[in-house]
């Protein structure tokens, strides 16, 4: 009998799979918590502008969005610049005051994120800002991407 006989490992070579569902559930719960389902259908085009000195909004639950941009007409056509809050286009700009005031009552620490198309003009942005001032929602955030402007 050879002295150098190969030693046979007598354990079974199997990965234990009993804990797998638990791991999967943990992953699942992580993604469920992280997921924010897209709740609005955009009716205006919003191409973000870029800036360098930006900050993150940490508490997403406090954020309410206002979209400003050219209305999407379909077929690659764009209409006039409009304001969208939640799912509706706003016809009367003075309605923003009441809408935002109601939101502020629900969430006193509200942050309004202005998502404005880069080709918009300041006039309408400023009108919206005046309405926000009247409503008392004073914390705003101009949504931008990180990075310097691409020269055109």
Partner 1 sequence: MQLKKRSREVAEVPQAGMADIAFLLLIFFLVVTTIDVDTGIGMQLPPPPDPDQEPPPIRERNLMNILVNAQGFILINEERASLPEVQQLVMDFVDNQNRAQDPNLSESPRQAIVSIKTDRQTPYEIYIDMLDEVIGAYRQLRDEASMREFGIPYRQYNARVSREDNVIREMYPQNISLAEPDPGS
Q: Contact positions toward partner 1, by CB under 8 A?
A: 20-21, 24-25, 27-28, 31-32, 34-38, 49, 51-57, 60, 63, 111, 113, 116-123, 125-126, 129-130, 132-134, 136-146, 149
Q: Which is nearer to partner 1, 7 or 60 (CB)?
A: 60
Q: What stretch of H or E contains 98?
A: helix 95-106
Q: Which is nearer to partner 1, 9 or 150 (CB)?
A: 150
Q: Report the nearest approach of partner 1 to the CB of residue 137 (Å).
A: 8
Contact 128, 68 (CB under 8 A): yes
For residue 140, give every residue at least 6 positions away whose Cβ sits within 8 Å of its Cβ, in sequence order, or none. Answer: 111, 112, 113, 114, 129, 132
Q: Which is nearer to partner 1, 9 or 15 (CB)?
A: 15
Q: Report the nearest approach of partner 1 to the CB of residue 99 (Å).
A: 16
Backbone phi, psi, residue 83, to 5°: -115, 130
Q: Report the nearest approach of partner 1 to the CB of residue 35 (Å).
A: 5
What's the order of all strands across the beta sheet hosting 63-74?
Answer: 88-90, 77-85, 63-74, 111-116
Q: Can you read off the two tokens belonging to residue 137?
A: 């929602």
Q: Report the nearest approach of partner 1 to the CB of residue 40 (Å).
A: 14
């Amino acid at each position: 009998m050879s002295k150098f006989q190969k030693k046979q490992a007598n354990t079974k070579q199997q990965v234990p799979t009993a804990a797998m569902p638990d791991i999967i559930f943990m992953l699942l719960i992580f993604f469920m918590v992280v997921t924010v389902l897209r709740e609005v259908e955009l009716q205006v085009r919003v191409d973000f502008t870029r800036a360098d000195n930006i900050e993150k909004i940490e508490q997403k639950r406090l954020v309410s969005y206002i979209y400003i941009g050219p209305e999407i007409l379909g077929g690659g056509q764009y209409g006039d610049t409009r304001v969208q809050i939640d799912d509706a286009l706003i016809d009367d700009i003075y309605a923003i005051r009441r809408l935002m005031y109601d939101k502020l009552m629900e969430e006193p620490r509200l942050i309004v994120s202005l998502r404005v198309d880069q080709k918009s003009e300041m006039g309408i942005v400023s009108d919206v800002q005046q309405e926000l001032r009247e409503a008392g929602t004073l914390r705003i955030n101009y949504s931008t991407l990180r990075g310097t402007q691409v020269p055109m």
